[in-house]
């Protein structure tokens, strides 16, 4: 009898609780206990402290840490002079960046990792620091009001409720510069992915509507030297784009045309139109207006490319698209739409032959291509 009791006690400990009376319940309790033991709050800890990592990255970019130590590396004593920091912050910043995988220590000195050296050193062709700076300077504080935005369905990016984020940016030259530089950081990556995914060799000219810095045009022409492109955007934006295009040595192949796609017709003569990270900013009715203008500007057989962070059709992800929709709640009137929603608008407009192509890039996860009959 004592032996049976010991076995019972051992089994009870194995399932983490009091033994149930029926075999069926015993299995259920065992499975439940095992599941409870497998759960951990660590994923929640990572979510709750994600802004610590971003703040560390943003501070390092703001101080231009990675550019300044790109060649020789540094230590805490040197960093004090290099960035004008007291001893404790200098040491902590280096440790923080090392912990994030942005710095590595060799022979007592901190050096950029390959990731930081490729994307966080100013002057590199695929510099990503502009996007980090924009989020830090323009969006970090408004996120504190996300609950207000959700409850009211009104943007909280600024106190002026009559203007959205894009309109507010357009009124401030410096803020617009920060935004365009940030979009260039994203678009130069996505532009390369689009140029690899879409066969521009069978096309004559690309019209990039609301093309910002011209990154997509630059990457398309780089990959297809016989190809021409035209960038359509507002005059202040084009001043920045012209400089980027000139730096790439492509001024002869990439033209710029000033205009507003809501108030003016789009230039004709291009057999391919790109809408890159445009439609998520706006509500469905405005998006239909933009698509109709694209349809009218294209010749028969012309193609339209929608490049976005596409939501899955079940609207459960992927995380980057879902979280950008949260950003739109804070800053603008749009959200991230599903592949099917875009296809429905294209069908309403008159486009045919849709093709979905996934992308691996930080700015867009896919392109949807359709054609004018």
Q: Which residues are catalytic?
A: 280
**What separation, in Å, do the N-terminal and C-terminal C-alpha atoms of the chain show?**
86
Q: Helix, strand or coil for residue 299?
A: coil
Structure token digits, residue 110: 């901190």
CA angle 305, 310, 314 (to 5 degrees): 135
Between CA 336 and CA 16 the distance in angstroms is 45
The dihedral through the CA atoms of 277, 283, 284, 287 has a sign that is negative
Question: DSSP secondary-structure letter at 188?
Answer: H
Q: How far is CA 16 from CA 7, 13, 26, 119, 291, in A?
A: 14, 5, 11, 50, 60
Contacts of 60 (CB under 8 A, 6+ apart): 66, 93, 96, 97, 102, 120
SS3 255: strand
């Amino acid at each position: 009898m004592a032996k049976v009791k010991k076995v019972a006690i051992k089994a009870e400990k194995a399932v983490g609780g009091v033994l149930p009376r029926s075999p069926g319940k015993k299995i259920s309790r065992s499975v439940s206990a095992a599941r409870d033991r497998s759960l951990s709050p660590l994923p929640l800890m990572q979510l709750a402290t994600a802004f610590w990592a971003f703040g560390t990255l943003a501070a390092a970019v703001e101080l231009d840490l990675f550019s300044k130590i790109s060649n020789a590396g540094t230590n805490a004593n040197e960093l004090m002079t290099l960035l004008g920091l007291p001893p404790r912050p200098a040491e902590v910043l280096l440790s923080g960046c090392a912990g994030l995988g942005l710095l590595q220590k060799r022979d007592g000195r901190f050096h950029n990792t390959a990731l930081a050296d490729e994307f966080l050193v100013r002057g590199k062709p695929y510099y990503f620091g502009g996007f980090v700076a924009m989020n830090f300077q323009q969006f970090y504080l408004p996120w504190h009001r996300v609950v207000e935005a959700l409850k009211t369905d009104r943007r909280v990016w600024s106190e002026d409720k009559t203007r959205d984020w894009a309109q507010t940016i357009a009124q401030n030259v410096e803020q617009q510069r920060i935004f365009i530089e940030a979009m260039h950081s994203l678009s130069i990556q996505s532009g390369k992915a689009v140029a690899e995914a879409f066969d521009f060799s069978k096309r004559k000219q690309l019209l990039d509507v609301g093309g910002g810095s011209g990154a997509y045009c630059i990457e398309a022409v780089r990959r297809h030297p016989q190809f021409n492109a035209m960038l359509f955007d507002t005059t202040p934006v084009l001043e920045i784009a012209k400089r980027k295009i000139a730096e790439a040595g492509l001024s002869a192949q990439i033209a710029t045309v000033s205009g507003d796609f809501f108030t003016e017709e789009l230039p004709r003569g291009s057999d391919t139109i790109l809408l890159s990270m445009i439609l998520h900013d706006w509500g469905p009715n405005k998006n239909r207006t933009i698509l109709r203008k694209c349809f009218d500007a294209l010749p028969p057989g012309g193609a339209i490319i929608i490049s976005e962070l596409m939501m899955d059709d079940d609207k459960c992800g992927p995380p980057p698209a879902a979280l950008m929709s949260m950003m739109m709640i804070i800053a603008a009137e749009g959200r991230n739409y599903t592949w099917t929603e875009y296809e429905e608008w294209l069908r309403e407009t008159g486009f045919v032959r849709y093709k979905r192509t996934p992308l691996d890039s930080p700015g867009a996860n896919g392109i949807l291509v359709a054609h004018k009959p």
